[in-house]
Structure 1
Amino acid sequence: MSLLIVHDLGKAFRAYRSEWLRFARWFGVPVTPSEEHWVLRHVSFNIQPGEAIGIVGQNGAGKSTLLKIITGTLQPAEGWVRVHGRIAAILELGMGFNPELTGRQNVFHAAGLMGFGVEQIHKAMPDIEAFAEIGEYFDEPVRTYSSGMQMRVAFAVATAYRPEILIVDEALSVGDAYFQHKSFDRIREFREQGTTLLIVSHDRSAIQSLCDRAILLENGTAIKDGKPEEVFDFYNALIAEKETSTVQVKELENGKAQTSSGTGEARVEEIALYNSKGEVAECVGVGERVELRIRVKVYEAVETLVLGYSIKDRLGQIMYGTNTWHTGQVIQNPQAGDEYCFIIAFGANLGVGSYSIQTALVDRETHLSFNYEWRDLALVFNVINIDKTQFAGCLWNEPQITIEERAQ
């Protein structure tokens, strides 16, 4: 059975010529609004127990509105939501905290609204206080708190009891890096224990490390639902294009979806990875010196040409990326028919695993002005450990360890 069902959800904000007409509509009188703005339309998806879903999209796409409807703080204009289980949600800083009450008093109110009794709250209070780590401020009025301190208390009380569904909006982006790591560790613990997660974030690495699926909202509509890597690749292509007309998704032989986009003035014609012996390789050793060779052809004259590339792990997280704008190697005024071979030499100082190359042909330091070609999964290769000391992680950084025996 699905833990959460969202069916044909829509939300419109309406304006009326007078408040009397608004009141009349509440009582069922058919009144036409003077203005109507839909922020969500025809959104449907199911979430199974234990799944982790990331909601992504540009500002104004309807992400926060969707979460508010799911948690019941907003009513939909159409469609419905069914929830089977207890929800804990962190949508906005403060969670409705009273600024005149202390953090401790607000925890009592917030936990009470979540349905917990006085005895349960008393029992959990020491853990909430310890997790928030705000010291004496816990017994000071919330109006004296910084936004980061409010976030600490809000997250501590929302996660004091493991919920069936945990919903987190961008609020976790507030505050210091230490508490963000601590919060994500708790979220991962909940995931391991079976909690279903619904999270909104612009942090690609957070979504890809925590989530099984991602849903992309664009202008209030869910336009893609799939693996986080594929959804983010499509999302980045949309941002680059600012329209969907040239975005293409192609299924590769390995079953992965390759997203490409661009206006086509220049294109990657050939790409290959060469090992330390100068041979084309699909598999290289940890720390081996390799060369990435990319042949580019110009189809229409442009003012400037920049090649960018990124190395991504199997989850789509970027291990390293740069471009020839940053390295001071911009090609000026290339003409139609010109070809260039970019040779990128580097050490494969990566952990054991599968990696991919993402390429971008643009005019400047980013792809947001002119995007000639953007291609994900342009090349896939594997890294194996042939002759290095066994290690864990995504970075090979072999140390020299010295042990000194101290005299008694």
Structure 2
Amino acid sequence: MTATVLHVDGLGKAFRTYRSEWSRVLSWFGGKPDILKEQWVLRNIGFRVAPGEAIGLVGQNGAGKSTLLKLITGTLRPTAGRVDVHGRIAAILELGMGMNPEFTGRQNVYNVAGLMGFTRDRIDTLMPEIKDFAEIGDYFDQPLRIYSSGMQMRVAFSVATAVKPDILIVDEALSVGDAYFQHKSFDRIREFREHGTTLLIVSHDRSAIQTLCDRAILLERGAQIKDGTPEEVMDLYNALLAERQEQTVEVRRHDTGRTQTVSGTLEAVVQDIGLFNGRDEPVEFVNVGDPVTLRIRVRIDRSLPRLVLGYMIKDRLGQTMFGTNTFHTEQILEDLEAGSVVTYTAAFHANLGPGSYSIATALVSSDTHLINNYEWRDLALMFTVSNHDKPYFIGTAWVPPSIRIER
């Protein structure tokens, strides 16, 4: 049986209003209290995490992500189910949690690290490294109340990750940091991962989830609705973000084994899509930097006042390499009749690194699919880029330099 560092089984959390304080006390001892009101924010959540695995938690605001993390860390007690943890947890949840605004940064490090189980001698040993990593200078010995949110994040992350944990839990708190410290933080997270730390991260950043995580779990209104690859989960999450009135969300298994998500009202749909070389021949394999043409034929099934086509090129992990739409190129179509067909042609150079890529398409009325999402189609087309005649390079973009050397 595969080793498990975290096991969540049938987990649920309800916030209750009792008719009296005696009823509340009765509930502590397993009695049947007189409950006035009960609101479940999580129900029947279950998953296992192996040592060294990275899991992304995804969902809209109010889906229950932060509550789940608090249950796992033990700062909240579950109403139902259980959490089994094997190893030491370091958690960065709500900004400022466990910190006193009247204490200095240094004093807060002693406070927070003490709560994490470290002795004062151990904290004294770690303090120089914590201060250096936070990089807030003399503010380290100033009261926390004068810190910016980014400075608070620097101290919180530095103390939480001063010693490699068995399980690292990161909520959206990292989003408040400046770009430099975000890069620095993610480098440390990657380093921990390489040395076997298990990661649970909450983020709306698709790139972070797909770069760092092996799996992702999608929560919706307190329920667990998907546990799968980051690409599959983020595609489904993206579909659920759209307005739901008269919309469908369909998940299909692609010929390659990958899962394709199609969502929308289907008032307009992609009828055909293809990638063509300079001789107007359909291609699946493209040389780095070669000119290609993307051709998309759209069928209008209901009269539409406005139509915008967007497309994104994604790498094999589902990260967006490039995306645009005809709203931003100022090519919006208006007053389209039912039954008509529109063909879009986009010509560009495949300035991409070697690897496999996919194209996602969006048919909408403006610059976003959150309003009038006619059709969003992931994995609409796949192609492979190879390097036949360019100097060797690494990365996902072909940005050839002109290098000059002077001695």
TM-score normalised according to structure 2 size: 0.97
Q: Which residue identity lines up with residue 334 of structure 2 in the other structure?
A: Q
- CA distance in 1: counterparts of 2:142 and 2:245, whole angstroms: 50
Q: 1:160 to 1:103 in 2, by over 3 A?
A: same
Deviation of 1:24 (Å): 3.5
Question: For residue 260 of structure 2, what is the aligned residue in structure 1?
Answer: 258
Q: Which residue identity lines up with residue 130 of structure 1 in the other structure?
A: D
- CA distance in 2: counterparts of 1:176 and 1:98, whole angstroms: 22
Query: Structure 1 segments of 4 or more deviating over 4 A?
Result: none
The one of 146, 167, 170 equivalent to 1:168 is: 170
Deviation of 1:31 (Å): 2.4
- CA distance in 2: counterparts of 1:173 and 1:234, whole angstroms: 23
Deviation of 1:45 (Å): 0.3
Question: For residue 384 of structure 2, what is the aligned residue in structure 1?
Answer: 382
- Check whether the contact 2:247–2:265 (CA below 8 A) recurs between aligned residues: no
User: How many residues are aligned here?
Assistant: 405
Q: 1:231 to 1:74 in 2, by over 3 A?
A: same
Is 1:96 matched with 2:98? yes
Question: For residue 275 of structure 1, what is the aligned residue in structure 2?
Answer: 277
- Check whether the contact 1:241–1:247 (CA below 8 A) recurs between aligned residues: no
- CA distance in 2: counterparts of 1:237 and 1:265, whole angstroms: 16
Question: For residue 305 of structure 2, what is the aligned residue in structure 1?
Answer: 303
| Unpaired runs of at least 5, structure 2 | none
The one of 2, 10, 13 equivalent to 2:12 is: 10
- CA distance in 1: counterparts of 2:56 and 2:157, whole angstroms: 18
Cα RMSD for the two superposed structures: 1.3
- Which stretch of structure 1 is more off in the superposition, 388-397 or 56-65? 388-397
Is 1:105 matched with 2:145? no
Q: Which residue identity lines up with residue 247 of structure 1 in the other structure?
A: V
Deviations 1:62-120 (A, max 9, x none): 00000000000000000000000000000021231122221112111211211112222
Deviation of 1:264 (Å): 1.4
* SS of alignment partner, residue 303 of structure 2: coil
* SS of alignment partner, residue 333 of structure 1: strand
Question: For residue 336 of structure 1, what is the aligned residue in structure 2?
Answer: 338
- Check whether the contact 1:13–1:38 (CA below 8 A) recurs between aligned residues: yes
Is 1:158 matched with 2:166? no
- CA distance in 2: counterparts of 1:352 and 1:28, whole angstroms: 60
* SS of alignment partner, residue 35 of structure 2: coil
Q: Which residue identity lines up with residue 365 of structure 1 in the other structure?
A: D
Deviation of 1:244 (Å): 9.8
Question: For residue 68 of structure 2, what is the aligned residue in structure 1?
Answer: 66
* SS of alignment partner, residue 247 of structure 1: strand
Deviations 1:154-196 (A, max 9, x none): 1000000001100000000012100000000000000000000
- CA distance in 1: counterparts of 2:260 and 2:243, whole angstroms: 16
- Check whether the contact 2:354–2:384 (CA below 8 A) recurs between aligned residues: yes
- CA distance in 1: counterparts of 2:324 and 2:247, whole angstroms: 27
Structure 1 vs Structure 2: percent identity of aligned residues? 65
- CA distance in 1: counterparts of 2:119 and 2:112, whole angstroms: 11
- Check whether the contact 1:308–1:360 (CA below 8 A) recurs between aligned residues: yes
Question: For residue 129 of structure 2, what is the aligned residue in structure 1?
Answer: 127
- Check whether the contact 1:241–1:261 (CA below 8 A) recurs between aligned residues: no
Q: Which residue identity lines up with residue 297 of structure 2 in the other structure?
A: R
